[in-house]
Structure 1
Amino acid sequence: MLGRRQRDRRRCGQGLLRRVLGWTYQGDEAGRGGYAIGEVDGAAAGGIGPQQEEGAPSAWTVYFASDDADATAAAVTGHGGAIHLPPGDVGPRGRMFIGADPTGAAFGVWQAGTMIGAGAVNRPGGLTWEDLRSPDPDTARAFYTAVFGFRTEALADAGPDYTTYALANEELPLGGMGGMMGAEGQPAHWLVYFGVVDVTATIAAAEAGGGSVLVKEVETPYGRMAGLADPDGAPFWVIQTDGHGQPDRSG
């Protein structure tokens, strides 16, 4: 599951994601409190909704799945985390809460009802990777391992304090956890990566749609990528992908 909270100009964010990721939007926003679900080829890719706190910056929220949101919320506080929005039902679609790890990085938890979560994953237009950036990655890793049962593994090519994380019973990783990058003084945060067919074309589309380039296009051992921001300033990354290399967890 992936959610995006922004100021009242959320149509700007929707338009940019339509332009750069090919998202379409289905359903009645009014019936979801102004929350729109973006889709790729008919599968949910993420959501865009209004800010829940006035003055908060626009940002993406990574949601982790849980069979029992209330029990997971208790585990979050039991292992030194915090609850920003307590567990609550989202109609028949599911139950969710917003929390933060002990280093301050915010995340969501989703207990599926009629909506499982993101179905467009590991393909162009969909979520392909999540990165935690923390000033204390060891503390953060211990927290996520204890609360969600993740298995971590060092990835030396990405730096001495970087590890991937995966479900305990799966070999392929979901994302990574490491130290801070970018401007000094940033708080701990999660970054999201979307798959695209052509990074160069995606950058051009983002700039034409009012977005900005935070990190120029770069070749890495994991693919060509770039850091972008939408018109409201919410950062995200894009990585060139053919949609292979990860299992389908959408169902």
Structure 2
Amino acid sequence: MQTRLDFASVQVRDLQASRAFYTQVIGFEAHGQDRPGAVVFQDQDGAIFAIREPLATTDLGGAFGVGVSLWFAVQDVDATHARIVASGGTVLSPPQPGPFGRMFAVRDPDGYQLTFHQG
């Protein structure tokens, strides 16, 4: 059986604040129309990522972002880093060599670690 990751989403405390972070600080563009309680982003290669309000059946006990790291491939790590810093992003680690090429990490409003890497 062959599988591939088709879709990823993370739950956020404040959908509008997170949407502003992902569009204004990170530079993502929302894909299509927003879904109820969610914002979907899609890159030029077809990867789909979403942020969403917690599901009614989910009890996170306030623990968002714990143990989650999302990796995004970019063409130019240094330019991406400079843009995110200029937009007020919280950088966890500056550009440096990493397991998949040059990389850096930032934290989103809910504590999720976003790693941008250039292979």
TM-score, normalised by the number of residues in structure 2: 0.71
Task: Describe the superposition over 1:183-218 as per-residue Cα deviations: whole angstroms up to 9, x where unpaired.
Answer: xxxx7x342210112212222222333421111211
Aligned: 1:204 with 2:82: yes
Is residue 29–residue 41 contact of structure 2 (8 Å, CA) maintained in 1? yes
1:82-101 to structure 2, matched below 5 A, reads: none
Partner of 2:102: 224
Is residue 4–residue 47 contact of structure 1 (8 Å, CA) maintained in 2? yes
1:27-38 to structure 2, matched below 5 A, reads: 27-30=33-36, 34-38=37-41
Aligned: 1:12 with 2:17: yes
Partner of 2:53: 50
Aligned residues: 109
Task: Describe the superposition over 1:152-209 as per-residue Cα deviations: whole angstroms up to 9, x where unpaired.
Answer: xxxxxxxxxxxxxxxxxxxxxxxxxxxxxxxxxxx7x342210112212222222333
Give the counterpart letter for 2:49 in structure 1. G
**Unmatched tracts of structure 1, length 5 or more:** 60-186, 242-251
Aligned: 1:22 with 2:22: no
Bigger RCO (CA 8 Å, 6+ sep)? 2
TM-score, normalised by the number of residues in structure 1: 0.37
Partner of 1:83: none
Deviation at 1:49, TM superposition (A): 0.5
- Rg larger for: 1
Task: Describe the superposition over 1:108-159 as per-residue Cα deviations: whole angstroms up to 9, x where unpaired.
Answer: xxxxxxxxxxxxxxxxxxxxxxxxxxxxxxxxxxxxxxxxxxxxxxxxxxxx
Runs of 4+ displaced beyond 3 Å: 41-44, 52-55
Cα distance change on mapping 1:221 and 1:58 into 2, 3 Å: closer
Partner Cα distance (1:46, 1:221) in 2:
22
Tell me the secondary structure at the aligned position of residue 26 of structure 1.
coil
**Unmatched tracts of structure 2, length 5 or more:** 1-6
1:69-108 to structure 2, matched below 5 A, reads: none
Q: Larger strand proportion, structure 1 or 2?
A: 1
Partner of 2:91: 213
